[in-house]
Amino acid sequence: MSNTEPGPHASTASVPHVAAHHLPPERSFWIRELPFTLVLVLTIAGVAYTSFSKKPIVGYWEILAPIIAAICVGAGWHEAGDRSARLRLIVTQVLHWAAFLLVMNMLLLPSVQRLFTSTATALAIFTLLALGTFTAGVQVLSWQVGLLGLIMALGIPAIAWIENSALLAVLVVGVVAGVSVVLWWHFRERRARRA
């Protein structure tokens, strides 16, 4: 063996170590919160459209439900330590959101639609989505998903009772409140890390 080749017990000090690329804490925080913010924005857009059009936008909520399910799986992934826990997480979220989609489509059956107006159907579907989001957040122990569900729930009376011009103000206040809670939580965690 040549002297220039390291042996099996040779020091690795001369070998450059490739460090894992870590994002700064502030940047990683915003990247972690991006999916929740995206769902919040999509939800507010759906609430605004539903309130102005007074029609259920079923396809929109059918697309949003799997997105929320994926976010819930991502939120609970690290807490589920082993493979069986992660599989259970995926299965429970798939079943949870499949039940939501099933009930939502049952509300759209022609026999049911004869009993409801389009506004009542839109409210019922949105109520189901808010409840489904909140309970999914409880299942995966994610305060972000739970907060999304609560903000959605605040949109229900907004759709039902508030005039269109005032609805935009309420939705803006809801977004500001949601972002404020997220920022407060972030700065609280940051202060706790420094202490």
- For residue 93, the model assigns a pLDDT of 92
- For residue 59, the model assigns a pLDDT of 83
Q: What is the pLDDT of residues 148-175, one digit of tens each?
A: 888 888 877 766 665 555 556 666 777 7
CA distances from 148 to 6, 54, 71 (A): 56, 22, 11
Are 131 and 20 a contacting pair, CB within 8 Å?
no
Q: Where are the domains of the chain?
A: 32-194
Cβ within 8 Å of residue 77, ≥6 positions away: 86, 89
User: How far apart are the C-alpha atoms of 139 and 89, rounded to whole Å?
Assistant: 9
Q: Which amino acid is at 70?
A: A
CA distances from 27 to 7, 113, 134, 176 (A): 42, 47, 27, 20
Are 97 and 162 a contacting pair, CB within 8 Å?
no
Q: Which residues of the chain have pLDDT under 50?
A: 1-3, 5-21, 23
- For residue 9, the model assigns a pLDDT of 47
Cβ within 8 Å of residue 154, ≥6 positions away: 170, 174
The structure tokens listed for 113 are 């639609």
- For residue 92, the model assigns a pLDDT of 93
